[in-house]
Structure 1
Amino acid sequence: MGKLLNYSNFGINFTLLFCLHALIKQLLMEFSMFMKLSAVCETKFHYQDKIPPSDYVVNIASNMQFYPVKDWLTRSSLPSKFSPSVIQMVLDQLSPDNVRIFWESKRFEGLTDKVEPWYGTAYSTEKITGSVIKEWVLSASDENMHLPAPNKFIPTDLSLKIVQEKAKFPVLLRRSTYSALWYKPDTLFSTPKAYVKINFNCPYAGNSPEAEVLTDIFTQLLMDYLNEYAYYAQVAGLYYSINHTDDGFLVTLLGYNHKLRILLETIVQKIATFEVKTDRFSVIKEMVTKEYQNFKYQQPYQQAMYYCSLILQDQTWPWIERLDVLPALQVEDLAKFVPAMLSRTFLEFYIAGNIESQEAESTVEHIEDVLFNCSKPLCKPLFSSQHLSNRVVKLESGMNYFYPSECLNPEEENSSLVHYIQVGRDDFKLNVKLQLFALVAKQPTFHQLRSVEQLGYITVLTQRNDCGIRGLQFIIQSTVKSPGNIEQRVEAFLKMFETKLHEMTIDEFKSNVNALIDMKLEKHKNLREESAFFWREINDGTLRFDRKDYEVEALRQLTLQELIGFFNEYVKVGAPRKKTLSVRVHGNRHSSEYKAQASEPHLAKIDNIFTFRRSQSLYGSFKGLSGQLLFGATMAY
């Protein structure tokens, strides 16, 4: 075949590649660089977090294929020794004459002449001429390239702080009109690491679809601006994220505590001095647009879960409205919005790990000074009325609601059902009954609805927790049954399971109780896992850091009759206090059912999500005086 590739379209990339190749040769032959690399690897190896045993086994088994027995644990993590001759041998093989390029593009469709036998992928091969390679090598100039600067984030102090107070749970260490600081010293893991979360509660961040989109673009731009700077931090074992939340945005940092504050203060300074760069705004806006557009290509069960959340969670905006306002948003809109968004802010901190309480407080005070106490403060405290929180729709007892929808992707054959059973507010005794029922019913659900009836590959019974409001949900995706038929099968299963529950022996009951207790008594494996648990309590406002202890005690006192009573009251088909919400997403195989769908005698149809939401009562928020502040005060030093 004739020449297929036009290298001029991307030759500059290979010019830079060969320039980088020359720098790598220089870099790898320097002993000082080897020592820096060794220091990073040694630190990472000796202070790595515990991982699930299954992952650990896979890692070691992989090493067994390549290394002798004595090196199974270390060789993939630690450099062995500095050997210039071996390095030179490898570098000699990294020659432009040995380059092999894989180029994938839609422009080659219909121009290829080979097909690989396993997946039927069309491809072609073509030899790169020596003259082309020579041209790339000769044009490679290193005047704009350099070796990495010294990494200031590499930790040198790995000592462990002496903890005076052996606090088992987080304490509300400090509270002002600007912020609240939850603090938890490391008493379990003995690693020189810290975990920091800062929730920026900004009421103006989500008061309209435009505000939601602009906050989304703002957080992604922040991450984009920090990429180059934070790369060195990530190499040295520091990780961060900035995420859009329902009430503002969340900054998270994790890693070695010695240099973590440098990264944290840089992030806060970027927020305080934020400017919109026109070129990067265009890139991020396009990315956000694609994210919203791709929503319609999510699987039907994901769309059903989204609609369920949209119905239940007050003050949330639908994705279609955000997509609708996005094209009109410009650089000037974001430049005006960010100062307005931050003008009223409350910061909620969680600082844990190898950090002393005085250092945690000084970190918060520094951030308050940057944002609130400078000559021209960017932020002001929230008014009392602005301390808003997410609230959840309280479904009426004895009511069965359903919301029908067509799948957004007309090519999608699958349909899906989310059958949600709302139980109630966070309560230890109620929680353990719900959890035990979910455990007992999980395997029979899978066996009956997937293995026996073969409704669909995705068949799940799981718990649901919306800001402390607990419930159960069946999630099923199917091509063979419509959502209405799937719901009938779920109810038939519950009728069948009622018999099995009544036939359960005391020994079977105790075995399941003990299994659930064992799950709850399992210790957190690392600081990240522990912090995620405590942060969920803080973010929801429930603040039951001692949850596991109380729920284990409630389980030990639970009887089989109480479990059956829970089923009869909340789950049983036709139970007077049962509250259900079914979201039905119809694929193209079941579009006729959607078009013919009307109100059913025992079901209340939701025609408009927002009209329904406005007509319903809401559960009270846990972030109130009787919850968060009182419990927090009792836990403070």
Structure 2
Amino acid sequence: NLLIYPAEHVIYGEYMYEVWDEEMIKHLLGFFMPENMRIDVVSKSFAKSQDFHYEPWFGSRYTEEDISPSLMELWRNPPEIDVSLQLPSQNEFIPTDFSIRANDISNDLVTVTSPTCIIDEPLIRFWYKLDNTFKLPRANTYFRINLKGGYDNVKNCILTELFIHLLKDELNEIIYQASVAKLETSVSIFSDKLELKVYGFNDKLPVLLSKILAIAKSFLPSDDRFKVIKEDVVRTLKNTNMKPLSHSSYLRLQVLCQSFYDVDEKLSILHGLSLADLMAFIPELRSQLYIEGLCHGNLSQEEAIHISNIFKSIFSVQPLPIEMRHQECVICLPSGANLVRNVSVKNKCETNSVIELYFQIEQEKGMELTRLKALIDLFDEILEEPFFNQLRTKEQLGYVVECSPRVTYRVFGFCFCIQSSKYNPIYLQERIDNFISGLDELLEGLDDESFENYRSGLMAKLLEKDPSLTYESNRFWNQITDKRYMFDQSQKEAEDLKSIKKNDVISWYKTYLQQWSPKCRRLAVRVWGCNTNIKESEKHSKSALVIKDLTAFKLSSEFYQSLC
């Protein structure tokens, strides 16, 4: 475009029409008549008696036929015309106000670096931050709406999922109109929470939000859409865990989380659900709510408060008390735990096996939070390359070889994972254990310069400026959804890194990863490929506790207090 248009037109040059020629448009539309039309019908079920021609290159069969005069006449003079066959009305979401709010706000608000809570009521809590960095006419508004009883049991869980999917389906038309005007919408579900994100040009954002919330409050699904969406959800559930890597993560979370509904159980319940079940459930689901949101970008505080008032005016319901909102608890693995879970691949033709070796560290705790996170992240920084180099490059165990921290509802962990089509999970775990046992030597042999390079490199990453408004919004939103509200966590972690020495990392490793330490608590999730024999696991389970009855295991376990 730079070679074709002047600089001021380079973005929209090929889309801009500066001349209105009504006669030319009428002339062009004059060709839109039945005589000039061609219809292509593609089907795999044409009548067998038809006389087919064969396309010479690919051998595709086809027929040609004239449109009958009677059908042509019917098209020329139809008895009625579908009312939807008309030009769309003007898009009401096209922005007209592109003024930058930060240019008109007092310096006190402009210098604020973190969101502030501007509303904290039983029904709604709102966080707000004016964008004073990127200064674009855009805003990101994120909301999580707790729905009453949405995750109380497996039936409620699947009914809530159906409701959210049907709501997204109902919103499709209005979401598309807004997206044409660069105003985007995301609707998703997290346990009993509907997460709604509306982002883009800020001018007409409240208009779109009002329409979305009005539909969410009042809509009831039709029978035909219920059948379609139910079929989609059934298909999704059937395809869950087809990939061994995602299957291993699923199995790990199934052990760790107190409330984790099995996909097969959800599928069994779903088959028996009807539209009547959902219609009876929806009023209860919407009867009590709790909303937490973030308004970030080119919005004044008054505009953010106006957005909160949209929620309050549309959802005139009782607030959902905190004890009725779902909060996930994570299992506290016992001291010295060495647990194993063995499962065959779901796809019987899948040759890949996976080992995921998870070490549970600690739950986040007060002032020690950032130091512990800094130690875990620094350990990961040091370990990533040698782990990959040894097990992927040298030993060539499999295509996927990775290690990284895990944070499960604010409980720290560390994970080693290998996917392989050549070796079974037991051998893969033995190689991981061998690597871990040699880490003492690797860490001790790390010279001061190398350690400082790792530490300073991690500090530089933590202190990098957010590259975009959305990146910054997502960072804030993660703190809100985790109920941590530590918006400067990266800066605090970088500060804690300054005092961390090599011996601190070695001590951390010996405390949490060496098997003879009482604080070493591990869970090995083994997914066995179709070309391996899962019965081999019985020969290698003497030193580990194999989880065979997950329900009984959880009933006998302790759990961390829920933080989010």
The TM-score with structure 1 as length reference comes to 0.78
Separation in structure 2 between the aligned mates of residue 544 and residue 105 of structure 1, nearest angstrom: 58
Distance 1:594 1:170, change over 3 A: farther
Q: Is the 8 A contact 2:336 2:520 kept in 1?
A: yes
Q: Which amino acid aligns with 1:415?
A: S
For this pair of structures, how many residues does the alignment match? 544
2:379 matched to 1:437?
A: yes
Number of the residue aligned with 2:190: 245
Q: Take 2:416 and 2:463, find their aligned partners in 1: how far apart are those partners?
A: 27
1:596 shift after superposition = 5.3
Say if 2:323 is the partner of 1:385: yes
CA contact 2:53–2:63 (8 Å) conserved in 1: no
The aligned counterpart of 1:409 is: 347
Per-residue CA deviation, residues 28-52 of structure 1 (Å, 9 max, x unaligned), is: xxxxxxxxxxxxxxxxxxxxxxxxx
1:208 Cα offset (Å): 1.2
Q: Contact (CA 8 Å) 2:359, 2:513: kept in 1 or not?
A: yes
The alpha-carbon distance between structure 1 residues 176 and 450, as it changes in their structure 2 partners (threshold 3 A), is same
Deviations 1:563-585 (A, max 9, x none): 11111111234333111111111
Name the CA shift for 1:80/1:338 in 2 (closer, same or farther; >3 Å).
Answer: closer
CA offsets 1:240-278 (integer angstroms, 9 cap, x no match): 122111132111111111111111111111122121211
- Matched with 1:398 is 336
Aligned partner of 1:514: which letter? S
Shift of the 622–453 alpha-carbon distance from structure 1 to 2, 3 Å rule, reads same
Letter in 2 for 1:421: F
CA deviation map 1:302-346 (0-9, x unaligned): 111001111111212111111000111111111111111122221
Q: Distance in 2 between matches of 1:511 and 1:115?
A: 65
Q: Hey, what does 1:290 align to over in structure 2?
A: 235
Give the AA of the match of 1:471: G
Letter in 2 for 1:254: Y
Counterpart position of 2:86 = 146
What is aligned with 1:375? none
Q: Deviations over 1:398-441 (max 9, x none)?
A: 21111111111212111111111111123111111111111111
| Equivalent of residue 160 in structure 1, options 76, 100, 108 | 100
Q: 2:276 aligns with which of 327, 332, 335?
A: 332
| 1:163-242 alignment, distance < 5 Å | 163-164=105-106, 165=109, 166-242=111-187
Q: Structure 1 583/107 Cα, relative in aligned 2: closer, same or farther at 3 Å?
A: farther
The residue number in structure 2 matching 1:299 is: 243
Please say if residues 149 and 285 of structure 2, whose CA atoms lie closer than 8 Å, have aligned partners that are also in contact.
yes
Distance 1:546 1:576, change over 3 A: same
Q: Is the 8 A contact 1:429 1:551 kept in 2?
A: yes
Does structure 2 conserve the Cα–Cα contact (< 8 Å) formed by 1:113 and 1:124?
Answer: yes
Cα pair distance change 1:358/1:138, threshold 3 Å: same
Secondary structure class of the residue paired with 1:287:
helix
CA distance in 2, matches of 1:358, 1:447: 55
Matches within 5 A, 1:568-587: 568-587=510-529
Q: Which residue of 2 aligns with 1:9?
A: none
**Structure 2 partner of 1:43:** none
2:452 paired with 1:513: no
- Alpha-carbon distance in structure 2 between the residues aligned to 1:497 and 1:516: 20
What is the rounded CA distance, in whole Å, between the counterparts of 2:502 and 2:28 in structure 1? 67
The 1:133–1:505 alpha-carbon spacing in structure 2 relative to 1, beyond 3 Å, is farther
Contact 1:599 1:605 in 2 (8 A): no
Sort the Cα spacing of 1:514 and 1:332 in 2 relative to 1 into closer, same or farther, 3 A: same
Judging changes above 3 Å, is the alpha-carbon distance between structure 1 residues 78 and 187 closer, same or farther for their aligned structure 2 residues?
A: farther
Could you tell me whether the CA contact under 8 Å between 1:308 and 1:583 is conserved in 2? yes
For residues 473 and 397 of structure 2, what CA distance do their matches in structure 1 show?
A: 38
Contact 1:421 1:580 in 2 (8 A): yes
Query: What is the one-letter code of the residue matched to 2:544?
Result: L
Change (3 A) 1:495 1:205: same
- Please tell me the residue identity of whatever aligns with 1:360: A
Give the Cα–Cα distance (whole angstroms) in 2 for the partners of residues 301 and 594 of structure 1. Answer: 21
- Please tell me whether the aligned partners of residues 201 and 249 of structure 1 are also in contact (alpha carbons under 8 angstroms): yes
Sort the Cα spacing of 1:367 and 1:130 in 2 relative to 1 into closer, same or farther, 3 A. same
Distance 2:563 2:286 in 1: 25
**Contact kept? 1:491, 1:573, Cα under 8 Å:** no
- CA distance in 2: counterparts of 1:133 and 1:172, whole angstroms: 70
Counterpart Cα distance in 2 of 1:133 and 1:499: 88
Aligned to 1:21: none
Tell me the distance in 2 between the aligned counterparts of 1:542 and 1:458. 33
Summarize the Cα distance change of 1:620–1:236 in structure 2 as closer, same or farther, 3 Å threshold.
same
Structure 2 distance, partners of 1:73, 1:431, is 49
Distance 2:13 2:341 in 1: 52
| Superposition deviation, residue 139 in structure 1 | 3.6
Asked if the contact 1:163/1:185 (under 8 Å) is kept, the reply is no
Equivalent residue for 2:211, pick from 266, 285, 288: 266
Sequence identity percentage: 25
Q: Is the 8 A contact 1:300 1:414 kept in 2?
A: yes
Aligned position for 1:29? none
From 553, 558, 562, the equivalent of 1:617 is 558
Distance 2:171 2:417 in 1: 39
Give the secondary-structure state (helix, strand or coil) at the position aligned to 1:588.
Answer: coil
Q: Which amino acid aligns with 2:434?
A: A
Paired residues of 1:213 and 1:322 also in contact (CA < 8 A): yes
| Paired residue secondary structure (1:180) | strand
Distance across 1 between alignment mates of 2:332 and 2:255: 11
- Once the two structures are TM-superposed, the CA of residue 363 in structure 1 deviates from its matched residue by 2.1
> Could you tell me how far 1:515 is from its partner in structure 2?
1.3
Distance 1:218 1:333 in 2: 11
Match of 1:475 in 2: 417
Which residue number in structure 1 is paired with residue 404 of structure 2? 462
SS in 2 for 1:576: coil
Residues 342 and 534 in structure 2, CA contact (< 8 A), matched pair in contact too: no
CA distance in 1, matches of 2:312, 2:9: 45
**Shift in alpha-carbon separation, 1:615–1:76, aligned structure 2, 3 A:** farther
Is the Cα contact below 8 Å between 2:217 and 2:286 reproduced in 1? Answer: no
Deviation at 1:556, TM superposition (A): 1.7
TM-score, length-scaled by structure 2: 0.88
- CA distance in structure 2 between the aligned counterparts of 1:598 and 1:508, rounded to whole angstroms: 42
Residues 123 and 361 of structure 1, relative CA distance in 2, 3 Å threshold: farther
Q: Indicate which of 310, 313, 319 corresponds to 1:366.
A: 310
> What are the equivalent positions in structure 2 for 1:412-561 lying under 5 Å apart?
412-426=350-364, 427-561=369-503
Q: Structure 1: any 5+ residue segments left out of the alignment? A: 1-62, 117-121, 373-378, 624-637
Residue type of the partner of 1:335?
M
Letter in 2 for 1:260: L
CA pair 134-167 structure 1, distance change in 2 beyond 3 A: farther
Matches of 2:269 and 2:198, distance apart in 1: 32
Going from structure 1 to structure 2, the CA distance change for 1:572 and 1:73 (only over 3 Å counts) comes to farther
Give, as a single letter, the amino acid of the residue that structure 2 aligns with 1:290. R
Distance in 2 between the 1:476 and 1:94 partners? 60
Match of 2:10 among 61, 74, 92: 74
Distance apart, 1:186 and its partner CA: 1.1
Q: Per the alignment, in what secondary structure is the counterpart of residue 255 of structure 1? A: strand
1:310 aligns with 2:254: yes
Query: What is the distance in 2 between the residues matched to 1:102 and 1:301?
Result: 41
* CA deviation map 1:49-104 (0-9, x unaligned): xxxxxxxxxxxxxx79xx6597799357753554789x999999999989796958
Q: Which has the higher helix share?
A: 1
Does structure 1 retain, via aligned residues, the 8 Å contact 2:358–2:522?
yes
Distance in 1 (alpha carbons) for counterparts of 2:428 and 2:336: 21
* Per-residue CA distance 1:454-510 (angstroms, 9 max, x = gap): 211122112211121111112211111111111111111112333222111111011
Q: Which secondary structure state, in structure 1, belongs to the residue aligned with residue 438 of structure 2?
A: helix
